[in-house]
Chain A
Amino acid sequence: MSAISVRELRKSYGALEAVRGISFDVAVGEVFGLLGPNGAGKTTTVEILEGYRPRDGGDVEVLGFDPGRSEAAFRERIGVVLQSSELWPNLTVREVHRVFAGYYARPRDVDEVVELVGLAQKRDARVKTLSGGQKRRLDLGVALVGDPDLVFLDEPTTGFDPAARRNAWQLVRSLRELGKTVLLTTHYLDEAQQLADRVAVLRAGELVKMGPPSELIGDARAEIRYRRNGELVILETEDPTRELHELTGAALAAGYELDGLEVRRPTLEDVYLDLMDEAPPEPYA
């Protein structure tokens, strides 16, 4: 069963075609990552799914609803974390959760949610005294307080230091354990690799690749690097075991050293950068 189903989605802003007929499905309980550079159409796509923007064409179904009709029953079941939003600075963490809990018919227990996002120590602290990472956790807590089935996370760790990012990742994993469906946008490739069951790569409004991160990486060839007479040699291969064996065998037999020998599996980042290079995006109007 699909939590999200998108068919031939289109959206233009004036002459700019921001989204050019993309299709994808997100299964219930899946963590799905939308990847792409700025201007690729990620935010436009997500905001159409969240019900913020009308679409120009195509079919969209989210939890069985058409988000374009903006029904309260639909909004009961989604949680949204925006790229940037500042909640009331003078209320406490608990009070902000309580205000949002009041908007939903069947909210979760406020203290439980505060605990879940790791703000139990800060429950009576005013929002303005929180650190950047704590504020993002507050955003997440507020998105979860209505007990949504589907959570939208728009670039949840932009501007985080590495430790805060790892904490945030832990939180997203805990969402999966709760059985929530998560739609995540990010331009950090390692984030998508760590968190997403599947990713879709957007470029200039088109979907250029989709699949589990391991599969996207699996498509790509391994790389063997070493130095010979001071020159860097790079071999791309689909059969690294054999290639390496032959290489080291030859080196041992002839008695020379393979300086700086390494075998690299490409990361999602390499795959992604290749995708971005393949064909230059059409110029924006």
Chain B
Amino acid sequence: MRLFAHQLRSEQLVFWRSREAAIFIFIFPVMLFLLLGAVYSGTHEGRPVTDYLVTGLLTYGAANTAFAGLAISLVIRRESGLLKRIRSTPLPPSVYLGAALASILAVFTLQSAVLVGLGRALYGAALPVQPLALVAALAAGALAFAAMGIGISGVIRSSEGASAVVNVLVLPMAFLSGAFGPTRNLPEALQAVADLLPLRHLVEVVEAVYLTGEGLGGEAASLAVLAAWGAAGLALAVRRFRWEPRER
């Protein structure tokens, strides 16, 4: 417990001290929200579009912090030898990974609060109808994406490629899933792709608990898809995660 608290504090220090991480992980989704809010207007299914931007960017934040951010930082730390170096200390590997995860969840929590608050203050967007269910849904989404992030970090070979690889996955996924605003008139083929994406299902769950009175129970199918993606990420992590730099 002492070790976990120490490592969580250290992770937070490292995160906020790195301008790149703070901007890409923390500021970027908020910035996108402000941009999209300035561009989009009108209503969607009887609600202001800005309501959907809040829910959408919350889910993008989950993918961006827990998947992209975690994967990139793990690859960079592995390739720089830091992970290997830490393995020679008494810090247990499980505590290291647990603290990295907790740290990224803390950043995501803060970011979510900023998004909801800004949406309210700037656009009069709705507040969550079911706050507790929202927290549970976002936590489930972030954990699933974190599992995928740890998994994919084992597949990415170089620090230089890490950011490119994850963004090639995350940005199109976010568009197709409606995380950057409701998707209308998607061609059938793209719609079929979108329906397989984990972010699409997280968007649906978050919209349900944030905007309507529907509980998590009504979204069992989407939660199951998310869980399946999380399990696939975990399986990949178990097979491919490495502490040591790839032989160069």
Contacts and interface: CB of A to CB of B under 8 A. Distances in A.
User: Are A and B bound to each other?
Assistant: yes
A84 B87 contact: no
Interface in B79-95: 80-82, 84-92
Given A104-B89, A146-B89, A52 B244 contact: yes
A248 B96 CA distance: 71
A99 B92 contact: no
B14 A84 contact: no
A83 B112 CA distance: 41
A103 B91 contact: yes
Given A99-B10, A102-B10, A103-B3, A88 B82 contact: yes
Interface stretch (A74-82, A184-192, A198-206): A74-82
B184 interface: no
Contacts, number: 63
B13 interface: yes
A226 interface: no
Interface residues of A, number: 27
A102 B6 CA distance: 7
B81 A84 contact: yes
Contacts of B82: 85-88
Contacts of A82: 81, 84-85
Main SS of the interface on chain B? helix
A95 B13 contact: yes
A72 interface: yes
A52 B84 contact: yes
Which secondary structure characterizes the binding site on chain A? loop
Nearest to B87: A52
B18 interface: yes
A54 interface: no
B84 A90 contact: no
B88 A51 contact: yes
Interface of B: 3, 6-7, 10, 13-14, 17-19, 80-82, 84-92, 244
